[in-house]
Each structure stands twice: as C-alpha cells, then as structure tokens.
Amino acid sequence: MSNSTLTLLPAAVLTVSLCQVALTDDNAANLTKILNTAIEIAETDDTFKAFAYLQSQGEPIVVAGHYSSVFRKVHREEKDVPLMVMFGRAGISYSLEQARVAEKTDEDAANKLKGYAKSIAYNLGANTWPGWNDKGIFIDNSSKKAGLDAARLNLRLAIDLKRNDEVLGNAHWWSALSL
C-alpha cells in the first residue's frame, strides 16, 4: 500500500460515514411520515385501513419494523393504550404470518420476522403492566389480558428462537408478572 493510499483512506471513510448519516436522516423523515400517516388513518378512518396502509409500505421485514415503531410511538407520544394494543396485536399477527410464508424459502428472514413479533409481544406485555403507574396511561382489564397473552407469546418465541438466558429470564419474568 502506498503512502498516498494511506492518506486517502481516512477521507474515504469520512465520506462514506457522512453519506450514511444523510441517508439515515432521509429514512428517519420518511419513517416519521409513515408512522404519522398510519396513526392519522387509524384515528380518522379505522385501524384496518391503517394496517393496510402500513402493509403497503415495503417488504415484510420493513413493514414489521414499521409496526414496531408505530406501536412504540402510540404508547410514548399518544399515550393511547387501546390503539397501542391494536397496532401491537396487528404487528405481531402480520410478522408471524409473514414468517410462516418466509419459512419455506428464507429461514433467516423468517427468524427476523419472528424476532419482530417477539419484540412487539415483549413490549406489549411490558406496556400493559399497570405497575409502572405512568402518568396519563390507564390500563384497563382488556389491555391487561392482551398484555398477558403477548407476554406468553414472547416467552414461547424466546424459546423457539433459542434466545440467550437473559432474554429467556426476562420473558419468564414478564409472563409471570403479567398474571
């Protein structure tokens, strides 16, 4: 390797890093638009139309990620537990169905999709535990039951996906705590 090549290498790395940041910002702005549109559709029309909109926004792994993101946004920013539960359960169902389809041809994609379902299930179980006493968040019995169901699914998927002991411990903890 010549000295001129060594001198150019850090500049090339810096250029690539700056391009990645710019792309990430564009992707973040697009994701924000998608999430806000899905929430608006759910609030003004119906959740089924919002789910259809999300599912039209890319390949299954991308859509599963969108479900995870809108689920978190509805909980953190909107503080709308029923809507969070609806997006969460739809995201879990979508991810698991797409995982079943992908299992036939792409085991890696199937596991990523199951991972999204597991993540949403974990968070749904955690977010519907009334012990947090989050300001502005009311957890009704229906949401608690949805959370328990999701916590149990999280545990099942943690076992199926052969997650490490820490993840399995957390899954056992949430499913027991949700009782």
CA torsion, ordered 103, 105, 108, 109, to nearest 10 deg: -80
| Phi–psi pair at 135, nearest 5 degrees | -65, 130
Report DSSP letters for 117-156, one per residue: HHHHHHHHHHHT-GGG--TT----HHHHHHHHHHHHHHHH
Summarised one tens digit per residue, pLDDT across range 39-86 is: 999 999 999 999 999 999 999 999 999 999 999 999 999 999 999 999
Summarised one tens digit per residue, pLDDT across range 7-16 is: 333 333 333 3
* Domain ranges, ordered by start, for the chain: 18-177
Q: What is the mean pLDDT of residues 106-122?
A: 96
Asked whether the whole model's pTM tops 0.85, one would answer no
Give the number of other CB atoms < 10 A from CB of residue 31: 17
